[in-house]
Amino acid sequence: MRGYRRARLLRGRERGRGREAAPDGLDRSDPGGLAALADSYLEALEVKNYSARTLDTRRYALTLFLRWSQDREVLRPEAVTKAILESYQRGLWHHRKGDGAPLSVGTQIGRLAAVRSLFKWLCKEGHLGADPAAHLEMPKEQRRLPQDTLSEAEVADILNVPDTSDPLGVRDKAMLELLYSTALRRTEIAKLELRDLNADRATLHVRGGKGGKDRVVPVGGRALQWCAKYLDEVRPLLQIDLAEAALFLTGYGKGFSPNSLGNLVRKAVEKSGVGRPGSCHLLRHACATHMLEGGADTRVIQQLLGHAKLETTQVYTEVSIRLLREVHARTHPAGGGVAPD
């Protein structure tokens, strides 16, 4: 029945606009319909210079909601009620992926947040008199601590994996050292260009980080030394196109994609024998935690990591317990660990 409804709607769109149905299967024949207005909403975000990643995420989440609504013949914003949105929310909770696993709470929140943002915009622009999503209660996300952080010795094991007698090993060593020194995300290090590394000032310009925000972070001396060795001895060997601006190049002379870079780091982690799954985020977590254990202020770590909210950074203080453990052992009456008789 749902397939029939969708086919009927798409045929109506073709008749009304004289063109083929949209690839996403949405009915845009009505300029005041949900699908057409959602396009205007996304265009408004683009005009406000939202990042491409944010736009893609919102577009995907809204397409899922609009298909769900269209299947139920809810095509205009005024037809959407809080009860309908709560029904969609229950559907997200009951949904199972191909492997039988449910959607994570974070995924559910992200999809609902996109819908709430759309209806807030519809009210602001005068397309709706009241917001049906205004009082929609979001799922409560369980706050999880990062996995056990790598010790300094384990980080050293990972950083020592590359064979630095080989040019590609020098490149990999420089990337790993830079990841641990700066706590960059994999997408951020993949986008680095030559101009972003300032060796004289020992800084790195991170352009278009999460949320499209730029930041400048310091680079440690050891990472700078390996980057200098890579730039002097290795990158000229890898460069094919003189116009290629990426800082780190693959064997094909191109910049890394986030996935290929993540796979490279994952293999180094596996080869190190530390027995932890993961890749770039392991070194990001380790950098933040080790700096906190060394006495760095949480707000400094927030700036380094590029977190918009301090609460996001404070989770690291809950896994950075070495200093707390040392103080506890020194000051607590029973903290010395005297063996029982």
Tell me if residue 95 is catalytic.
no
- Which of 127, 210, 215, 322 is catalytic? The answer is 210
Detail the DSSP E strand segments found in 88-227: 197-198, 203-206, 215-218
* Helical spans, DSSP H, in 191-340: 221-229, 235-238, 258-272, 280-293, 298-305, 310-314, 322-331
Q: Which residues contact 334 (CB under 8 A, 6 or more apart)?
A: none
Would you state the structure tokens that stand for residue 258, as one six-digit string?
């986030």
- Which of 58, 173, 235, 284 is catalytic? The answer is 284
Tell me if residue 143 is catalytic.
no
Tell me if residue 281 is catalytic.
yes
Rounded to whole angstroms, how far apart are CA atoms 26 and 70? 8
Q: Tell me the one-letter amino acid at 176.
A: L
- Which of 6, 82, 281, 322 is catalytic? The answer is 281
> Rounded to whole angstroms, what are the CA distances from 63 to 22, 108, 276, 334?
12, 14, 37, 59
- Which of 173, 185, 191, 290 is catalytic? The answer is 185
Tell me if residue 53 is catalytic.
no
Q: What letters, b where the CB count within 10 A reaches 16 and e where it falls short, cover 239-276?
A: eeeeeeebbbbbeeeebbeeeebbebbeebbbebebeb
Which residue's entry shows tokens 């210079």?
49
Tell me if residue 332 is catalytic.
no
Tell me if residue 316 is catalytic.
yes
Which residue's entry shows tokens 């914003």?
77
- Which of 13, 173, 290, 307 is catalytic? The answer is 307
What residues are annotated to the active site? Answer: 185, 210, 281, 284, 307, 316
